[in-house]
Amino acid sequence: MSEPVSGTVGVAVVGAGFMGGVHAAVLTEDPRARVRWIVDLDERAGGQLAAQMDARATTRLSEALADDEVRLVVVSTPVTTHHPVALEAIAAGRHVLVEKPLVMRPDHARELVAAAKAKGVLLGFGGNFVHAPKFRRAKELVADRTALGTLHAVRVVYRTSGPDSEWPRNRALAGGGACTDIGWHAIELCSWLLGEPRIEAVTAATQNITGVGDVEEQGVMLLHFEGGAVGQCDVSWLCPGGEQLTVEVLGTEGRVSVDFWQGMGITAFTTNKFAEVWEPNQGWAFPEWEWIRNSGYVQQDRSFVDAIVNGEPLGRAADSAIPIVSALDAVYRSAAEGRKIEIHD
């Protein structure tokens, strides 16, 4: 273990919402990084997070980019702003970590990747679960072809009781609904677990059941992979009873299943209420712990600092995001047109 050099990587976090807060906290705990700026149009939100992180707040990205110490820009703004914000940061020669989904349009994804390459900066994206220890262990098992035989299907079920804030239900800000918000993870996990074969086509269907917002609340997405394997993603914001994330990989000779949240190994019951447990915290509960580390956020953000400090290539660079953007784009077209959409890039 080489000795860390303190605070060499200056960070600007753009977007002071929930995920901006997670990244700021994770990077603050890394002795090699230092959060210098919180950028948010909402002065109060930006100011509060900046105060917690001992950083400065601004409403203008350009002000943070004028700071030579800033080497990494974390983009955790509403989805439809990812493209221009990331482009500006890349143009200013900064490494960029964009929260998922990278962008909504395949041409935007390719443009960002090309821009980063031209500038020689790192461009990564938020896909925390592929950094989570439990899924990394699952991937090792999946790689054992003697045990599993030929892989032919992956199913990801990801269900929540909906977003905590309002903007993810607003297409103008969020780009899409459940398929974008949590479906991104589902598509990425399918692809990553299978070894990232090309996604040749997509068949999808989406629904908005409650009429709240203008985006889909649930979706089913079939990913047709080169070689014949199928990815099945079932995502929903309409799931009471606690977040559910389960993944199954099927091979001709074996299978691997992951229960991410309820498979933590603690169950608890009270006739009253647990003070410090996520919903549900009445009756039977399945308490989590160290959720930021267990979800891979620490590992993901540190891998970015590693790459900057050590000059090595980024493990999950934005190139890996292009097929996911294309797939998500095809998801929405398939759902709208009621037919299988081929992907040609």
The minimum distance between CB 185 and its own copies, in angstroms, equals: 16
Kindly identify the residues of this chain, within the stretch 310-339, that bind its own copies according to CB under 8 A: 338-339
Strand order in the sheet with 123-125: 56-58, 33-39, 9-14, 70-75, 95-98, 123-125
Give whole-number Cα distances, 148 to 250, 259, 272, in Å: 8, 19, 45
**CA angle 295–296–298, rounded 5-degree value:** 120
Comparing CA positions, the residue from 217, 189, 194 lying closest to residue 205 is 217
Which listed residue (173, 222, 322, 343) binds its own copies by CB under 8 A? Answer: 222
**Pairing status of strand 151-159 against strand 33-39:** unpaired
The minimum distance between CB 88 and its own copies, in angstroms, equals: 31
Kindly identify the residues of this chain, within the stretch 67-106, that bind its own copies according to CB under 8 A: none
Which listed residue (44, 60, 198, 273) binds its own copies by CB under 8 A? Answer: 273
Stretch that binds its own copies, among 77-85, 109-117, 234-242, 300-308 (CB under 8 A): 234-242
The minimum distance between CB 245 and its own copies, in angstroms, equals: 10
Please give the Cα distance from 57 to 38 (Å, whole number). 5
Comparing CA positions, the residue from 59, 12, 8 lying closest to residue 36 is 12
Please give the Cα distance from 74 to 209 (Å, whole number). 34
Which listed residue (69, 284, 312, 333) binds its own copies by CB under 8 A? Answer: 284
Ramachandran class of 267: left when φ > 0, alpha when ψ lies in -120 to 50, beta otherwise: beta
Q: Which is nearer to its own copies, 81 or 244 (CB)?
A: 244
Which listed residue (25, 232, 306, 317) binds its own copies by CB under 8 A? Answer: 232
Which listed residue (68, 120, 164, 271) binds its own copies by CB under 8 A? Answer: 271
Stretch that binds its own copies, among 42-50, 88-96, 146-154, 308-316 (CB under 8 A): 146-154
Tokens of 91: 């143009």
298 contacts its own copies (rule: CB under 8 A): no
224 contacts its own copies (rule: CB under 8 A): yes
Q: Could you give the string, one character per residue 28-67, with x where binding to its own copies holds by CB under 8 A and - elsewhere?
A: -x-x------------------------------------
Which listed residue (243, 287, 306, 322) binds its own copies by CB under 8 A? Answer: 287
Which residues face 74 on adjacent strands? 13, 97
